[in-house]
Structure 1
């Protein structure tokens, strides 16, 4: 949940302060009905299809969907010997999901006897996101994890002077960067390729998925015998939340120095 991740109000390192004494429990749960029709597919079959799914938010985790059993193909389930326990939800009962030759070991689970504070979630079915073949919210395929309704992305044009240094080498110098602000995460700066020494960028096969921004493609910094893998990324075909940074380049500020001036005073 955006409110419980990173620098968000209930995250591990909140960036702001309340005007009251706030001491949330170590493991915060918040479940709410999702207005979306949510479907899960495996091996060519729809194994869950519901307009009554609960969206579960937990401290430090991305959201997950929980489905009423009536909306799940439990005839495709076989019991598993796997056991696990959640501090907030109690013991989990696992199931293997199988459609013909497509088998997802421990691909689903339920909390049959959660503590009273989470009793309303008893018996609802969760699926391991990556163990399934595809997820849909309404008729749009969802990637990486459910979209968080409290998560926001803003992209702002800027005229501040940005310089990226890799050791003593300047690899980017721009006065037209764009600042990407994403809930619970530090700001990221994206720059046009024309303001980057792209001859220092080598292709990488690495990609990652974001449910809000799309598929990121990475590049490696390389100069002679010196190289640093996957330091730079871009979104060639971003989703609508990140359209304004499409094709621009972003640098990992934990591995290179990204200096941005403070602007006029």
Structure 2
């Protein structure tokens, strides 16, 4: 039997019993700013892990500038968490519409989310863990990134040609992702073209890109690099990395690696 504070068991689990939602307290101080003001400043956040989703911070209302939130008519339904109500953030005439959501009567399995709110990452200006800005989504304590120097021979083929070859790559091992091979720029023989593309990673920083020209073909944004990585990933600064998924082959110790299947494939 559910309490008045919850909406009973989540119906989604009947068809998807394998679906996982877990949450735990985060020991970090987390701040969220919008239009120059702190909307959240807390050491009492929860970090939520859900199947097929990135980690999400939930914040106790006591640590949220609720006076800056305006309830809207928007609502959504999650078969695992319940009905979400929404708020816009309004500061000095600037509005982040429907940027905040809350489960007023969550399903029993996530009853601990009651009286907490969450925010869409890209709807506000800045997120900080302690005093360091974080990009894209919360850093998961369950993700590990190891960057190891290796003398194993690495060779990259693209368009039928060898475009990089080295025995001083740095291998990056990240939880649940393919191994990435970061290569010194001087060991890349490809013709690199400038690109305006950039992406962000909470564990590595802001990546810039190169396209590669081989013969008459241009392979768009197939190489990335970090000019100013976060401290934990400093070893890959200015090294170049090819998409394993998009080149002809990556050879390690003379053996072609199996192409990984990812969202970039």
Give the TM-score of the pair, scaled to structure 2. Answer: 0.86
Check conservation: 1:154, 1:241, Cα contact below 8 A.
Answer: no
- What SS does the corresponding residue of 2:112 show, helix, strand or coil? helix
What is the rounded CA distance, in whole Å, between the counterparts of 1:38 and 1:156 in structure 2? 30
Total equivalences in the alignment: 239
What does the per-residue CA deviation read over 1:187-206, in whole Å, with 9 as the maximum and x for residues that have no partner? 011111111014x1101111
Superposition deviation, residue 62 in structure 1: 1.4
Name which of 168, 171, 178 aligns with 2:163. Answer: 171
Check conservation: 1:27, 1:87, Cα contact below 8 A.
Answer: no
Please state if 1:78 is matched with 2:78.
Answer: no
- What SS does the corresponding residue of 1:117 show, helix, strand or coil? helix
- Give 1:29's aligned residue: 21
Gaps (5+ residues) in structure 1?
1-23
What is the rounded CA distance, in whole Å, between the counterparts of 2:151 and 2:130 in structure 1? 39
Check conservation: 1:28, 1:58, Cα contact below 8 A.
Answer: yes
Superposition deviation, residue 262 in structure 1: 6.3
Name which of 67, 83, 87 aligns with 2:79. Answer: 87
Name which of 180, 191, 194 aligns with 2:186. Answer: 194
Superposition deviation, residue 27 in structure 1: 2.2
What is the rounded CA distance, in whole Å, between the counterparts of 2:92 and 2:193 in structure 1? 42
What does the per-residue CA deviation read over 1:134-177, in whole Å, with 9 as the maximum and x for residues that have no partner? 11112222221111112111111112211111121211011221
Gaps (5+ residues) in structure 2?
1-15, 256-265
Please state if 1:253 is matched with 2:244.
Answer: yes
Superposition deviation, residue 88 in structure 1: 1.6
- Give 1:56's aligned residue: 48
What is the rounded CA distance, in whole Å, between the counterparts of 2:37 and 2:168 in structure 1? 48
Superposition deviation, residue 76 in structure 1: 1.4
Root mean square deviation of aligned Cα: 1.6
What does the per-residue CA deviation read over 1:204-252, in whole Å, with 9 as the maximum and x for residues that have no partner? 1111111111111110012453101110011111112211111111000
What is the rounded CA distance, in whole Å, between the counterparts of 1:39 and 1:234 in structure 2? 28
Superposition deviation, residue 91 in structure 1: 1.0
Q: Write out the 4+ residue segments of structure 1 that deviate beyond 4 Å after TM superposition.
A: none
Give the TM-score of the pair, scaled to structure 1. Answer: 0.86
What does the per-residue CA deviation read over 1:2-56, in whole Å, with 9 as the maximum and x for residues that have no partner? xxxxxxxxxxxxxxxxxxxxxx933211111111111111111111111111111
- Give 1:20's aligned residue: none
Superposition deviation, residue 123 in structure 1: 2.5
- What SS does the corresponding residue of 1:244 show, helix, strand or coil? helix
Name which of 133, 145, 159 aligns with 1:141. Answer: 133
